[in-house]
Amino acid sequence: MIFSSITFLFFFLPIVLLIYYIAPKKFKNIVLLIASFVFYFCGEPVYVFLMAFSIISTYIFGLLIDKYKEHSKFFLTLSILVSVGILVYFKYTNFIIENINLWLKNKIDFIYVVLPIGISFYTFQMISYSIDVYRGQAKVQKNILKLAMYISLFPQLIAGPIVRYTTIENQLENRTHTIEKFSHGIRRFIIGLGKKVLIANVVGELASKFLTSTDVSVLFYWLYGISITLQIYFDFSGYSDMAIGLGKMFGFEFLENFNYPYIATSVTDFWRRWHISLSSWFRDYIYIPLRSETE
């Protein structure tokens, strides 16, 4: 299920919003958790169990990291290995087999693997949670339902932004619901929907026409390059806008994910503006720790 589909816009979202706002405060998280699993089940019926396993393992490792301080690094390593191992298997197994065959001239058969939707995003969120608990930057979540809701929250599940646990830790229990915030959420969602449907999909169709063309002129390649560039940006930023808008409708405040990257003045500036949640995640959880180890 995608945000721009008829099923989501006219059935799933209205029903979830209605039940969510009717439900008492203590049941709102349960409503969101069930809705998130239903949302994922509609797209990946089998892999919903994989996500559930990942959530349970992250929950257990978080408790172990917090309880056994003297062995916390060991449990953190195991947690990361489990999360990354699952991601690598589903995303890179055939890539690894292809390279092994190329280097060693073997003929290992490819494995039929279907990539679960959103696995990269919820894997990064689980890893950041475990690391933040290890660093003492976040309190361990002892309520598995709240942790499950954080990881599986459907507005940002399939296309980001990557929401860190520390960003919405307090919002899991205490968040405000106002008409003003809800209206801002609707407006933001509509802007993102317009980016996706009216721009990204249209220029995507244009780009696909170029692929079937026999034209080899300079103008053709310029138009093709511009079409692809616009499609990628408006697709990603459109989904991020819709996710941020949906978050506001349910009382959450997600951080911005794109900041006009095509007006960047340098490559460094571009990466500060493009998919901010992803680039900052790599900076804080990979680049800075690795640099600290080498200094």
The pLDDT value recorded for residue 294 is 66
Cα–Cα distance between 222 and 85 in angstroms, integer? Answer: 40
Is there a domain that residue 120 lies in?
A: yes
**Has residue 236 been placed in a domain?**
no
The residues near 161 (Cβ < 8 Å, ≥ 6 apart) are: 240, 243, 244, 254, 255, 256, 257, 275, 276, 277, 278
210 belongs to a structural domain = no
Mean pLDDT, range 36-57, rounded to an integer: 91
Q: What is the pLDDT of residue 91?
A: 86
Query: What are 162-171's pLDDT values in tens digits?
Result: 999 988 888 9
User: What average pLDDT score do residues 242-270 get?
Assistant: 91
Which of 30-39, 217-226, 284-293 reaches the highest mean pLDDT? Answer: 30-39
Q: How confident is the model at residue 71 (pLDDT cuts 50, 70, 90)?
A: very high
Q: Are the beta carbons of 160 and 240 closer than 8 angstroms?
A: yes
Pick left, alpha or beta for residue 260 (phi over 0 → left; psi -120 to 50 → alpha; otherwise beta).
left
Question: Can you give the pLDDT at residue 45?
Answer: 87
In-domain check, residue 193: no
- Is the pLDDT assigned to residue 173 strictly greater than 90? no
- For the ranges 35-39, 72-76, 215-219, the lowest mean pLDDT is seen at 215-219
Q: Are 275 and 235 in contact (CB under 8 A)?
A: no
Q: How many domains does the chain have?
A: 1
Residue 206 has pLDDT above 90, yes or no: no
pTM value is 0.88
pLDDT at 293 over 80: no
Average pLDDT, the chain: 89
84 in any annotated domain: yes
Read off the pLDDT of residues 108-137 as tens digits, 9 standing for 90 and up: 777 777 788 889 899 999 999 999 999 999
Say what the pLDDT of residue 194 is: 95
75 burial level (CB within 10 Å; 0-12, 13-18, 19+): buried
Asked if the structure places residue 289 within a domain, the reply is no
Whole-number pLDDT of residue 275: 87
Measured CA to CA, the distance from residue 159 to residue 216 in angstroms comes to: 34
Residue 48 lies in a domain: yes
In a domain, 152, yes or no: yes
Give the pLDDT confidence of 137-156 residue by residue, as tens digits: 999 999 999 999 999 999 98
d(CA 190, CA 186): 6
Residue ranges making up the domain that contains 108: 1-174
The predicted structure's pLDDT at residue 295: 61
